Amino acid sequence: MENRPHHTETLPKSATGIRGFDEFTFGGLPKGRPTLVTGGAGSGKTMFGMEFLVRGATQFGEPGVFFSFEESEKDLISNFKSLGFGLEKLQQEQKIGLDYVHIDRTEIEETGEYNLEGLFVRLGYAIDSIGAKRVVLDTLEALFSGFTNEMILRSEIRRLFRWIKDRGVTAVVTGERGSREGSLTRHGLEEYVSDCVIVLDHRIEEQVSTRRLRVAKYRGSSHGSNEYPFLLEEGGIFVLPITSVGLDYEVSEDRISTGIPRLDTM
State residue 244's pLDDT score: 45
Amino acid residing at 265: T
Query: What is the C-alpha to C-alpha distance for residues 11 and 34, in angstroms, rounded to an integer?
Result: 14
Output DSSP code: residue 60: S
- Interval 214-238: pLDDT, tens: 998 898 777 666 889 999 988 899 9
Residue 6 lies in a domain: no
Residue 8 lies in a domain: no
State residue 261's pLDDT score: 72
Residue 184 lies in a domain: yes
State residue 252's pLDDT score: 57
Residue 196 pairs in a beta bridge with: 35, 218
3-class SS string, 135-166: EEEECHHHHHHHCCCHHHHHHHHHHHHHHHHH
Residue 7 lies in a domain: no
Residue whose C-alpha is closest to residue 244's, from 18, 23, 79:
23
Q: Which domain holds residue 247?
A: 13-265
Residue 18 lies in a domain: yes
State residue 249's pLDDT score: 46
Q: 73 vs 30, 96, 99, CA distance in Å?
A: 27, 12, 6
10-residue averages of pLDDT along the chain (266 residues): 50 94 93 93 93 97 96 93 91 96 62 69 96 95 79 87 94 83 71 87 81 90 80 90 52 65 64
State residue 3's pLDDT score: 46
State residue 258's pLDDT score: 65
* CATH classification of the domain holding 72: 3.40.50.300
Give how many domains the chain has, as a whole number. 1
Amino acid residing at 176: E
3-state class (DSSP) for residue 241: coil
pTM of the model: 0.83
Residue 94 lies in a domain: yes
Query: What is the C-alpha to C-alpha distance for residues 4 and 198, in angstroms, rounded to an integer?
Result: 18
Residue 5 lies in a domain: no
The dihedral built from the CA positions of residue 234, 12, 228 and 4, taken in this order, carries a sign that is negative
State residue 112's pLDDT score: 43
Residue 86 lies in a domain: yes
